[in-house]
Structure 1
Amino acid sequence: MAPFEEDHTSDEARDIWDWWIVRGGSDGCGYFVVPGHADDPYLVHDTPWSDGEELPSLPGMSAGGPREALDFTEPRTRARAVLGAGWDLWRRISADGRPVRPLSWFKSRYASEHGAYSGPEAFWDYRTQPKVGEFYDHWDRTTRIPGMLNFGYSTIRDLDSWFAGDREEFVEREAPRALRHFGDLLTLDGWWIEAGRSDAGVHGPCGEPVPCEHAPDDSLCLTDPVTYLETLPDDTLLVTLKCHV
């Protein structure tokens, strides 16, 4: 973590945190534990509050532990279930005949009005259409999934385009993308990979400049970080941290 501490260097790309704490077991943002490993002495649990109050992990979860004790199957199953439910929800909402202007209509207005109509206004006007609002009001309450998955799908997108096509095809297409939104990743070889990005991130051992000429040892950390974690050696210790930036 040290190379990425705020003000550690003069390069802003490396100023990633100013304090961190172990979190994930008590709030559902950590890891599922493989059945039978609940008593593993190497499981990691949340740091207590400053007054000493303990933060016990939710049943079947932890803030980390040996890779072999952590379950990556359950998050994948839940991701597919939530995506399928989202597809069903939009199909139900959109079937009542109320018109919905596409997001492209608002973007075109933004482009043509040259500053009189802002980008945030365009997204907000699309978001507050009754049917779109109904979808997101429900979606935002139900898509936080324990086990590293916080879809980040409060990001506004054109729902008709996103959910177009067959349900199963949609789930197959979106599930790997959803799994990339589990949070930033610090790899064994010292790369800080920002969630949802596929560039090389920041290489801690190199110092400045950023980016450097190197590449991660395993490119999976860029394209499929959950599989990267899943395929690490059994005794690799994985830990979830909450970083203040």
Structure 2
Amino acid sequence: MAPFEAYRDFASERDQWERWSIQGGSDGFGFRALPGMQDDPRLIHDQPHGEQGPRPSLAGMCAGGPRGLLDLAGPVTEAKIAAGRLWDLFHQLRDLMPAVLPLEHFRTLPENHVRYMPVGADPEDYPLVPNSNLTPALEQYRAQPLIQRLRATPFFTAGVVRELPDMLPWFALTREEYVAQQAEDALRRSELLTLDGWWIERDHLPVHGACESLDTCPHRTDRSEPWTRAEKAAYLEHLPDDVIIVRLHCKV
């Protein structure tokens, strides 16, 4: 991590973090241990919080450990299964239940409008506009029978693709497209620091910690494009079983 510490007069692309801590088991953003490995002493758990004390891991979760003890593929596999079941349920019910109206319909209802007005101005000079607070509209949207049925299924959380602001357009995809999109969403979104010192950030060019800057880096032959989430996941999947992977929570 040291080559990417902030305030060290590095090039801007290497100025990445101010402080970090080992964290992921207690908040669910870490790694799932393989079945039967949850109590293995080689697993790594969250550092205690300075004021709140210990942060125990959620059941089956950890902040890291040897690659061979971590279930990296399981969450994606489960997301694919759940997405397929959710897509099937939507298309089974859509012709049997009242048509679902999009969130935008409820957002524009008169009762969900507020008057946009600078402080001290005459209210009559400013029209009503849709409320930027989506809470009332979202409650009405979710109250629709078909949306209620989808949200009540045990596989909804793992199977839905980006519920907000509106999940309906996703079900216009084919089943294969929907499942593939959910698999993509289930992949880790965090940055990656590789064994050979590359800082991999989504939508940015990889940065080599041993080089002064992107412009002067001589190692860019194979690292000239941003990595996708699938490429980062594949990197972790193909690490040897004894390589230790740790999730860090960074203040940037």
Give the TM-score of the pair, scaled to structure 2. Answer: 0.66
Report the Cα distance in structure 2 between the residues aligned to 1:221 and 1:143, rounded to whole angstroms.
Answer: 29
Aligned match of 1:239: 246
Report the Cα distance in structure 2 between the residues aligned to 1:55 and 1:20, rounded to whole angstroms.
Answer: 15
Letter in structure 2 aligned against 1:21: S
Matching of residue 167 in structure 1 with residue 175 in structure 2: yes
Shift of the alpha carbon at 1:52? Answer: 7.0
Letter in structure 1 aligned against 2:98: D
Report the Cα distance in structure 1 between the residues aligned to 2:156 and 2:247, rounded to whole angstroms.
Answer: 20
Report the Cα distance in structure 2 between the residues aligned to 1:77 and 1:7, rounded to whole angstroms.
Answer: 41
Aligned match of 1:106: none
Number of residue-to-residue matches in the alignment: 217
Shift of the alpha carbon at 1:26? Answer: 1.1
Letter in structure 2 aligned against 1:60: G
Shift of the alpha carbon at 1:182? Answer: 3.1
Report the Cα distance in structure 2 between the residues aligned to 1:242 and 1:228, rounded to whole angstroms.
Answer: 20
Q: 2:237 aligns with which of 211, 230, 234?
A: 230
Aligned match of 1:115: none
Determine if contact 1:34/1:69 at 8 Å carries over to the other structure. yes
Matching of residue 203 in structure 1 with residue 211 in structure 2: no
Aligned match of 2:108: none
Instruction: Work out the percentage of aligned pairs sharing the same amino acid.
Output: 36
Matching of residue 186 in structure 1 with residue 188 in structure 2: no
Letter in structure 2 aligned against 1:238: I
The answer for unaligned runs of 5 or more in structure 2 is 105-128
Shift of the alpha carbon at 1:237? Answer: 0.3
Shift of the alpha carbon at 1:79? Answer: 2.0
Q: What is the root-mean-square deviation of aligned Cα atoms in Å?
A: 4.2
Report the Cα distance in structure 2 between the residues aligned to 1:155 and 1:16, rounded to whole angstroms.
Answer: 30
Report the Cα distance in structure 2 between the residues aligned to 1:52 and 1:130, rounded to whole angstroms.
Answer: 35
Letter in structure 2 aligned against 1:182: R
Matching of residue 59 in structure 1 with residue 67 in structure 2: no
Aligned match of 1:107: none
Shift of the alpha carbon at 1:71? Answer: 0.8
Letter in structure 1 aligned against 2:233: V
Report the Cα distance in structure 2 between the residues aligned to 1:87 and 1:132, rounded to whole angstroms.
Answer: 22
Shift of the alpha carbon at 1:18? Answer: 0.3
Matching of residue 16 in structure 1 with residue 24 in structure 2: no
Shift of the alpha carbon at 1:131? Answer: 9.1
Letter in structure 1 aligned against 2:249: K
Report the Cα distance in structure 1 between the residues aligned to 2:49 and 2:134, rounded to whole angstroms.
Answer: 41
Larger CA Rg, structure 1 vs 2:
2
The answer for unaligned runs of 5 or more in structure 1 is 103-120, 146-150
